[in-house]
């Protein structure tokens, strides 16, 4: 294929054959229970130096209890898939967990800007949909996918994308490198103990993220029976064999919303936004992450039952969420 | 109810202008939050109740239940209420790539002569020197794939620049044919830019053209707030001010807390002419 133009950004090595071998050798083909604590799940399935993807973000059905656990365990040198996200990357950079970010959209606060200037964090440029397309290629077992966007931008120059001559039409077309993250964390509405899971409402890329990633941790608002899932198989979003760990995490997306289950906590949203922009991040990390040892303790001691009840009460819409 | 308003602010003016060009016969992909989302919500509650729009979280044709909580513009039961379909980001990008999206509506930090959009960095990119912003997000896909793109921004010299510091999302790049050379679908591109003071279109050779002005700002003031001289239409139109009905819907249903509109200068009708309320007598 004739290459017309290429970005100079570093990108995670593309190797679909290696992923196939991983799916054969390391993915749990048999239905086995994977219920565990967030501490155990993160200890076992997120490693220093991993490429980490997560779905949605800190305000919208994000895997926030797992994000907080990763920070609590002080993981190092993570390479973050920064698409459709806001404060999350600042949390990872401010806590010195991450040193590389593929950016579709992230909230740049003073922390990330300073880390970039000091060369503690490397940034590679994409768009949100180019990142989800990279995950889609990763979830299809192919090395790349063509796209009709992102060409002509300056972001392209700092990405792993290329523009090639399409062998079918002869016209220029952009291709994106497949992305197979080392680890993914995804928050879902319902899962069984094996990791069969349902996501209700819109989402960014939960299914692609689960299928593309080598090690996958789900946190679930509700643990349901497999019989319950079998009653309506069309609603299963993620199959068990893609999943390594299932963590029961009610209010796992606090301070964000989980559609149909609870509304966001506006004060909690504004508190973390303020920390990102005003630079009192260490206080935020201390109060919301390091001062507790688990998500359950966080909800109990820092957030409080009254606030959680209020979030449930404010989510008045049930229609479409299977409840 | 639909009489011209005598008191409004600049941002309300822009939102109403964009809402008025939104039509039910087209499909829109809209940047979430800010003026773009306010404009489609306003159109849906005034002139175009059956309007269909997408946001990048995969919502197809919602009928949002308002008002929305802060930052809850997507992946949220209120923003996505009673949609036709709930899907994912790749699905919406595919629909746009297929040609279903007639118009995209976006805002930007900077725009240049060719309608290129910068939402990454103001200043130098290299070494992280410039002031960094979030990145293109969904805007690059919208600007690349929608048949026509509407841009919303403020009328400031630092925003209208000869060349953006960083092309986050493509306008016409450097002129006719450039989009196609970089793999973008033919026949797509920028259509209009709206600011609180003016409306711009594009010339045949893809350059920004001043086409209309607000009744409270002379053309020379618009040009003074640009770092380059744009083309100017042979006849400059004067845009209509918001109506009382539009403002009532905007203020009581859409932007109740003033998160979007509570920043512009106020305009008032005084002795038969519209002028800035802070401009003295």
- B58/A149 CB distance under 8 A: no
pLDDT, tens digit (0-9, with 9 covering 90-100), for A206-228: 999 999 999 999 999 999 999 99
- By Cβ distance, the residue of A117, A148, A266 closest to B127 is A117
Please report the residues numbered 42 through 81 in chain B whose beta carbons come closer than 8 angstroms to any beta carbon of chain A: 56-59, 65, 69-72, 74-78, 80-81
Q: Which two tokens stand for residue A315?
A: 């989510």
Q: Looking at the predicted structure, is the pLDDT value of residue A322 above 80?
A: no
Please report the residues numbered 107 through 136 in chain B whose beta carbons come closer than 8 angstroms to any beta carbon of chain A: 120, 125, 127-129, 131-136
Mean pLDDT to the nearest integer, B201-213: 98
- B89/A128 CB distance under 8 A: yes
Task: Please tell me the pTM assigned to this model.
Answer: 0.97
Mean pLDDT to the nearest integer, A258-281: 92
Distance of alpha carbon A204 from alpha carbon A102, whole angstroms: 16
- B144/A150 CB distance under 8 A: yes
Q: Nearest C-alpha of chain A: how many angstroms from B135?
A: 5
Q: How far is CA A186 from the centre of its chain?
A: 6
- By Cβ distance, the residue of A127, A154, A320 closest to B141 is A127
Specify the long-range contacts of residues A74-80, CB closer than 8 Å, at least 24 apart. Answer: A75/A42, A75/A46, A75/A47, A75/A48, A75/A50, A76/A48, A76/A49, A77/A48, A77/A49, A78/A46, A78/A48, A78/A49, A78/A50, A78/A51, A78/A52, A79/A12, A79/A49, A79/A50, A79/A51, A79/A52, A80/A52
B34 CB neighbours in chain A (<8 A) are: none
Q: Looking at the predicted structure, is the pLDDT value of residue B281 above 60?
A: no
Q: Nearest C-alpha of chain B: how many angstroms from A23?
A: 23
Distance of alpha carbon A191 from alpha carbon B233, whole angstroms: 60
Residue A278, Cβ density class (10 Å: 0-12 exposed, 13-18 middle, ≥19 buried): exposed
Distance of alpha carbon B121 from alpha carbon B134, whole angstroms: 8
- By Cβ distance, the residue of B72, B141, B167 closest to A129 is B141
- By Cβ distance, the residue of B71, B72, B89 closest to A132 is B89
Best of B62, B81, B89, B101 to substitute, by most chain A Cβ atoms within 10 angstroms, is B89
Residue A161 CB: number of other CB atoms within 10 A? 28
Q: Nearest C-alpha of chain B: how many angstroms from A224?
A: 22
On average, the pLDDT of chain A sits at 97
pLDDT at A265: 97
Q: Is B94 on the interface with A (CB under 8 A)?
A: no
Name residue B161's beta-bridge partners. B112
Mean pLDDT to the nearest integer, B77-99: 98
Q: CA dist A310 to A2, A59, A313, A318, B246, Å?
A: 58, 16, 5, 16, 33
Map residue A208 onto helix, strand or coil: helix
> What is the four-CA torsion angle of B127, B129, B130, B135, rounded to 10 degrees?
40
B141 CB neighbours in chain A (<8 A) are: 127-130, 149
B129 CB neighbours in chain A (<8 A) are: 117
Best of A153, A198, A313 to substitute, by most chain B Cβ atoms within 10 angstroms, is A153
- Tell me the count of A-B CB pairs closer than 8 A: 201
- B136/A128 CB distance under 8 A: yes
pLDDT at A277: 86
Give percent above pLDDT 90 in chain B: 92
Q: Nearest C-alpha of chain A: how many angstroms from B33?
A: 14
Q: Is B166 on the interface with A (CB under 8 A)?
A: yes
Q: Which H or E run includes B39?
A: helix B34-45
pLDDT, tens digit (0-9, with 9 covering 90-100), for A22-69: 999 999 999 999 999 999 999 999 999 999 999 999 999 999 999 999
A102 CB neighbours in chain B (<8 A) are: none
Q: Is B170 on the interface with A (CB under 8 A)?
A: yes
- A263/B136 CB distance under 8 A: no
Q: Which two tokens stand for residue B112?
A: 């240049």
> Is the CB of residue B225 less than 8 Å from the CB of residue B155?
yes
Closest CA to A34 of A227, A222, A194: A194
Distance of alpha carbon B131 from alpha carbon B78, whole angstroms: 33
- A257/B167 CB distance under 8 A: no
Confidence of residue B165 (pLDDT cuts 50, 70, 90): very high
Map residue B43 onto helix, strand or coil: helix
Its sign, for the CA torsion A179, A184, A185, A190, is positive
Phi/psi of residue A173, each to 5°?
-145, 145
Q: What angle in degrees, to the nearest 10, is found between the helix axes of B89-98 and A128-140? A: 100
Q: Which residue of A has its CA nearest to B119?
A: A105
pLDDT at B262: 86
pLDDT at A290: 98
Q: Is B41 on the interface with A (CB under 8 A)?
A: no
Q: Which residue of B has its CA nearest to A123?
A: B128
A103 CB neighbours in chain B (<8 A) are: 134-135
* A114 CB-near residues (< 8 Å, 6+ apart): none
Q: Which H or E run includes A115?
A: helix A110-117
pLDDT at B280: 66
Confidence of residue A262 (pLDDT cuts 50, 70, 90): very high
Mean pLDDT is lowest, of A176-185, B59-68, B97-106, B256-265, for B256-265
- B145/A148 CB distance under 8 A: yes
- A84/B78 CB distance under 8 A: no
Q: Is B272 on the interface with A (CB under 8 A)?
A: no
Confidence of residue B263 (pLDDT cuts 50, 70, 90): confident
On average, the pLDDT of chain B sits at 96
Mean pLDDT to the nearest integer, A84-88: 95
Q: What is the ipTM of this complex?
A: 0.97
Distance of alpha carbon A66 from alpha carbon A71, whole angstroms: 9
Mean pLDDT to the nearest integer, B39-45: 97
Phi/psi of residue B110, each to 5°?
-140, 150
């Amino acid at each position: 294929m004739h290459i017309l133009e290429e970005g100079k950004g570093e990108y995670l090595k593309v190797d679909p054959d290696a992923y196939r071998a991983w799916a054969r050798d390391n993915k749990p083909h048999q239905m086995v229970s994977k219920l565990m604590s967030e501490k155990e799940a993160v200890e076992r399935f997120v490693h220093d130096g991993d490429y980490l993807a997560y779905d949605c973000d800190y305000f919208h059905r994000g895997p926030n209890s797992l994000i907080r656990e990763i920070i609590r365990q002080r993981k190092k040198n993570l390479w973050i898939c920064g698409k459709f996200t806001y404060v999350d990357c600042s949390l990872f950079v401010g806590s010195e967990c991450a040193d590389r970010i593929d950016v579709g959209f992230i909230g740049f606060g003073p922390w990330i800007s300073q880390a970039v200037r000091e060369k503690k964090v490397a940034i590679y440029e994409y768009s949100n949909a180019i990142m989800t397309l990279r995950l889609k290629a990763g979830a299809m077992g192919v090395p790349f996918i063509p796209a009709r966007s992102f060409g002509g931008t300056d972001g392209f120059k700092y990405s792993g994308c290329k523009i090639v001559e399409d062998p079918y039409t002869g016209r220029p077309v952009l291709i994106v490198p497949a992305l197979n993250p080392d680890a993914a964390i995804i928050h879902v509405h319902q899962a069984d103990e094996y990791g069969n899971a349902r996501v209700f409402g819109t989402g960014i890329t939960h299914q692609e993220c689960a299928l593309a990633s080598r090690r996958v941790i789900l946190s679930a608002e509700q643990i349901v029976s497999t019989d319950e899932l079998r009653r309506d198989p069309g609603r299963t979003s993620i199959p068990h064999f893609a999943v390594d760990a299932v963590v029961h995490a009610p209010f796992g997306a606090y301070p964000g919303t989980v559609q149909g289950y609870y509304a966001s906590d506006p004060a909690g949203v504004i508190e973390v936004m303020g920390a990102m922009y005003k630079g009192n991040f260490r206080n935020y990390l201390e109060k919301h992450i390091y001062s507790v040892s688990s998500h359950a303790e966080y909800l109990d001691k820092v957030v409080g039952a009254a606030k959680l009840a209020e979030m449930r009460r404010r989510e008045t819409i049930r229609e479409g969420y299977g409840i | 109810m639909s009489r011209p308003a005598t008191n409004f602010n600049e941002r309300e003016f822009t939102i109403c202008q964009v809402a008025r060009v939104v039509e039910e016969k087209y499909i829109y992909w809209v940047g979430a939050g800010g003026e773009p989302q306010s404009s489609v919500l306003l159109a849906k509650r005034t002139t175009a109740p059956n309007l269909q729009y997408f946001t990048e979280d995969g919502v197809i044709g919602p009928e949002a239940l308002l008002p929305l909580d802060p930052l809850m513009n997507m992946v949220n039961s209120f923003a996505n209420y009673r949609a036709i379909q709930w899907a994912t980001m790749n699905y919406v990008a595919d629909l746009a790539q297929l040609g279903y999206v007639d118009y995209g509506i976006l805002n930007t930090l900077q725009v240049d002569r060719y309608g290129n959009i910068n939402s990454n960095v103001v200043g130098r990119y290299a070494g992280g020197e410039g002031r960094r912003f979030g990145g293109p997000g969904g805007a690059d896909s919208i600007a690349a794939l929608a048949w026509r793109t509407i841009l919303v921004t403020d009328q400031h010299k630092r925003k209208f620049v000869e060349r953006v510091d960083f092309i986050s999302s493509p306008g016409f790049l450097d002129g006719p044919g450039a989009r196609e050379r970089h793999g973008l679908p033919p026949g797509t591109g920028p259509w209009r830019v709206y600011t609180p003071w003016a409306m711009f279109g594009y010339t045949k050779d893809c350059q920004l053209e001043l086409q209309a002005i607000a009744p409270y700002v002379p053309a020379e003031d618009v040009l003074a707030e640009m770092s380059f001289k744009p083309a100017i239409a042979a006849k400059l139109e004067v845009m209509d001010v918001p109506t009382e009905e539009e403002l009532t819907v905007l203020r009581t249903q859409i932007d109740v807390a003033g998160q979007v509109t509570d920043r512009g200068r106020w305009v008032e009708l005084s002795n038969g002419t519209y002028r800035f309320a802070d401009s003295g007598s």
